[in-house]
Amino acid sequence: MRKPTWILIALAILVVGLFVLALWHPWTRSGEQARRSCGADHLKEQKGQKCHAPDLYAMRERDREEEEGGGEKRPYDWFYMQRAYPNWVVNDEARMEMYRQAEALSARYAFLNLAPWTQKGPTNIGGRITGLALHPTNASIIYAGAADGGMLKSTDGGVTWAMLTDNLPSLSVGDVAIDPNNPNTVYAGMGEANLAGDNYDGDGVYRTTDAGATWTNLGLTRVKRIGRVAVHPTNSNVLFVAGAGAQFSADSARGVYRSTNGGTTWSKVLYVSDSTSAIDLRIDPTRPDTVYAAMWERLRSPTRRKAGGATSGIWRSTDMGTTWARLTSGLPSGVTVGRIGLAIAKSSPDILYAIYADSVGYFTSVYKTTNAGNTWAVTAGQPSGLFSSYGWYFGQIRVSPANPDIVFGLGVPLYRSTNGGTSWSNASGSQHVDHHAMEFDLSNPNRIVDGNDGGVFYSTNGGTAWTKSYNLPITQFYAATIDDLLPQRTYGGTQDNGTVRTQTGNLNDWADIYGGDGMYCLVDYTNSQIIYAESQNGNFGKSTNGGSSFFSAMNGINLSDRMNWSTPVVMDPNNHLVLYFGTHRLYKTTDGAANWTAISGDLTNGPGPGNLVYGTITTEAVAKTNGNVVYVGTDDANVWVTTNGGTNWTRINTGLPNRWVTRVAVDPSNAAIAYVTFSGYRIDSPLPHVYRTTNYGASWASISSNLPEGPVNVIVINPITPTTLFVGTDYGVYFSLNSGGTWYPVGTGLPRSAVDDLMLHNATRKLRAATHGRSILEFDLTQLSGVDYGKPVLKPIEGLKLVVTSPTQGEIRLSYSLPKAGTVRIALYDATGRRVQSLSEGVVSPGAHELRQPLGLASGTYFVKVEALGQILTRKVVVVK
């Protein structure tokens, strides 16, 4: 063949290769998992850093097939669904009861003067920011809301941060708003509305009137997820809330709410349907009777996700929310309309922008109106890179308060237009991907603060360059480990920030060593240079050079197996070359992950419904005294054991609850003694979450005793005294000195963020807790020695008083006082002990308080119960009609 022909063939191959590469490039490929397989990968590629995640082609192909099966871009629900199983929604009342029990247990043992937990970072990695607010006259004061880290405040422009709400029952924030008339008053709408399934629902709207020192719940607890909070520009008593409603079910709590008395009472002023959320809301700054609301039809379950529909659209009210009309001229309609974001130009309020996504999740177009919404048109230019996907995750657009032509579109990258949408350019700069929030300094609009999955960034030149704000301990961990030989080194897998580590033990020098959503990671206990790391759905790699590079460690594992979002992998404590990897069956390697062999069949009940991945192994444990003994747990409540290295398996979950198994653990001195922990909440009857066997699972005994009743995510056994146990739960870390007979809180000051993993380094007696929203914290176990953990007497708290006016005719009046701030729950009970009416619940400031509330009860004798600061006070109430 002639040489020119060879050249043409080579060129053709090159072109095809480049085309395939473009299709599979990390920031253009389909699927949540594939997009994040290298974390902030498109930024890494721009900086010349290597994306370490192996086997991308196979993983991407699986994602593509999964999406094509459902025709949607699906979120991952590992955090939420393990807590809901076997149901599809979490029992909120049971969750709140767990929170109350945790608060009471902490207060009960407070007099023991336990030492505090200390922050171990990372503070330089960050996490997902969902809401921002800047002080209107002093932009150095910034309030930020994290997806699962609560409310934060900086008074120095983002250099340092204070945590404001660590003790609230939910640390998931949907939006933040400052009262423009009184900047010390700040509102937090709880519950992220971005369809992310890695956090809890919120519990309404909180307000602080002292710049974040104390917070009060204003109600709307049934709304669960809040897309926007807006305050009237001249009348602080008028508030609007965009209620997104429940994450996994249709509910009538969705819609736009209004208060005309500063949040004392609320009225639903716009309701479209039980499947239509209010997701965004804007008040005209010069004609505040005019309010715009974006409504979004969405339904979601483990088997399907509907992210759009005919009821999605923009509504407008010109009488402060009393009546509403849908805006249609020039705007899209129909079943394919998805999430919508709104922005109003403060300097020219007749100009608004709206960003639309479709029902699959792709952004489609930016629309603009110049006549206050009467007519709309697609902007002349469209930021094509913005419309890759995941519109349900972002849906935000912003416009400069000083120039209506400067517009930002928030998506995977950040796009900017300086000519009213005629053209757009990528303005991401050095920022992390996935943008959710943005605010402008009103005195200097060139100063902009942006919130994304990497935390808070700010620009001083209108978005041309960005600087990261550090000192934010809000990283969401899935799993973590300590280097046994070099215990100052901590590793952990995180949501959207990869596998990160510190080599010094400092808070602010953590670095990403393996991309994607980081999951399990291991360090060889004989060689610190050998590290194993994993990204979502079992993408497993190995490093032999201390984490400088990774290669695939999945030879022999069938990539078509079902793999959990956080696929478990463990190292045999008897042989560092032996590891176990769980899909729907268990794999074993005896050569340090060079080769894997399946040693079981399917240990689950089979795949779950729909095309999300269920029916997987969630945990494994190997006996220290006998490496042939391996215990396994699954997401569908199965527990298994083999005593001969996998030749035979015995199912041992008889008598255990039908809940997602979170951990199995083996007594280091006796292979017959094992523990199993469960996620989930009770439905009607009590639900223990920790069990112990002494006979290889032939029988089990509950050792939950006085633990707060709710998800237990991890259990660790003290290797020196195996009767000492530690558990990490959704509300605290607890320990037992008698194999679970009695549990005590470990230390003080641990944020109420779910503890997904615990690490005990026995030589240094350090216990580290990896939280799903407040980074990693450490407790020095030597501080527990010498403390008398005999049964304590519940000491009354001085200054806690309650006075109730009785008898009453249709209204209860009571007064109470608190010596310090705390969560207060007030409810009425009948003579049988049944709760008949909730009166109040929330964080209350110290001092005297009064409550007056109508009673819809029949005549008779009732009891009012006040729970506060670990104490319970009751008073009799006589209702006379």
Give CA–CA dist 442/446, Å, rounded.
9
Higher pLDDT, 44 or 774: 774
Structure tokens at 246: 């429940």
Give CA–CA dist 757/522, Å, rounded.
13
Q: Is the pLDDT of residue 254 over 50?
A: yes
Q: Using CB atoms within 10 A of its CB, is residue 54 exposed (0-12), middle (13-18) or buried (19+)?
A: buried
Mean pLDDT of 640-649: 98
Token pair 């416009």 in the structure block, residue: 399
Region label for 593, one of left (φ > 0), alpha (ψ between -120 and 50) or beta (otherwise): left
pLDDT the model gives residue 68? 30
Mean pLDDT of 217-243: 97
Give CA–CA dist 166/188, Å, rounded.
13
- Which residue segments constitute the domains of the chain, with CATH numbers given? 168-327 (2.130.10.10), 477-784 (2.130.10.10), 801-879 (2.60.40.1930)
Q: Is the pLDDT of residue 24 over 70?
A: no
Q: Is 593 helix (H, G, I), strand (E, B) or coil?
A: coil
By mean pLDDT, which of 586-595, 657-666, 806-815, 859-868 is the weakest? Answer: 806-815
Structure tokens at 31: 């699927």
Q: Is the pLDDT of residue 788 over 50?
A: yes
Average pLDDT score, the chain? 87
For residue 582, the cross-strand partners are 586
User: How does residue 672 score in pLDDT terms, banded at 50, 70 and 90?
Assistant: very high
Q: How far apart are the first and last CA of the chain?
A: 104
Q: For 31-81, what is each residue's pLDDT tens digit? A: 333 333 333 332 332 222 333 343 333 333 333 333 333 344 445 688 988
Token pair 């026995």 in the structure block, residue: 762
**Cβ pair 622, 630 in contact under 8 A:** yes
For residue 5, report the phi and psi dihedrals to the nearest 5 degrees: -65, -40
| The 186-190 sheet, strands edge to edge | 173-178, 186-190, 205-208, 216-217
Residue type at 66? E
pLDDT the model gives residue 302? 60
Instruction: Count the Cβ atoms, other than its own, within 10 Å of residue 329.
Output: 11
Higher pLDDT, 35 or 432: 432
Give CA–CA dist 690/693, Å, rounded.
11
Neighbouring residues of 644: CB distance < 8 A, sequence distance ≥ 6: 628
pLDDT the model gives residue 306? 82
Task: Tell me what percent of the chain is helix, strand and coil, each rounded to the nearest 5.
Answer: 10, 40, 50
For residue 755, report the phi and psi dihedrals to the nearest 5 degrees: -95, 105
Our measurement of the distance from residue 245's CA atom to the centroid of its chain's CA atoms, rounded to an integer in Å, reads 16
Mean pLDDT of 709-733: 96
Q: Is the pLDDT of residue 397 over 80?
A: yes
Report DSSP letters for 302-328, one per residue: TTEEE---TT-EEEEESSTTSS-EEE-
Strand stretches in 91-135, DSSP E: 118-121, 129-134
Strand stretches in 79-128, DSSP E: 118-121
For residue 399, report the phi and psi dihedrals to the nearest 5 degrees: -130, 140
User: How does residue 527 score in pLDDT terms, banded at 50, 70 and 90?
Assistant: very high
Higher pLDDT, 646 or 34: 646
**Cβ pair 120, 490 in contact under 8 A:** yes
Give CA–CA dist 456/438, Å, rounded.
9
pLDDT the model gives residue 385? 60
Give CA–CA dist 27/34, Å, rounded.
9
Q: Degrees (nearest 5) of the Cα angle 428, 429, 433?
A: 45
Q: For 444-466, what is each residue's pLDDT tens digit? A: 999 999 999 999 999 999 999 99
pLDDT the model gives residue 829? 74
Q: Is the pLDDT of residue 279 over 90?
A: yes
Neighbouring residues of 786: CB distance < 8 A, sequence distance ≥ 6: none
Mean pLDDT of 419-447: 96
Residue 108 to residues 371, 823, 873, Cα–Cα distance (Å):
61, 14, 15
Structure tokens at 679: 């996620």
Token pair 């300086």 in the structure block, residue: 418
User: How does residue 879 score in pLDDT terms, banded at 50, 70 and 90?
Assistant: confident
Instruction: Count the alpha carbons within 13 Å of 699 in the hemisphere toward its beta carbon.
Output: 2
- Percent of the chain at pLDDT exceeding 70: 85
Q: Using CB atoms within 10 A of its CB, is residue 176 exposed (0-12), middle (13-18) or buried (19+)?
A: buried
Structure tokens at 152: 């934060």
Give CA–CA dist 148/136, Å, rounded.
26
Q: Is the pLDDT of residue 415 over 60?
A: yes
**Cβ pair 434, 496 in contact under 8 A:** yes
Report DSSP letters for 701-736, one per residue: EE--TTS-SS-EEEEEE-SSSTT-EEEEETTEEEEE
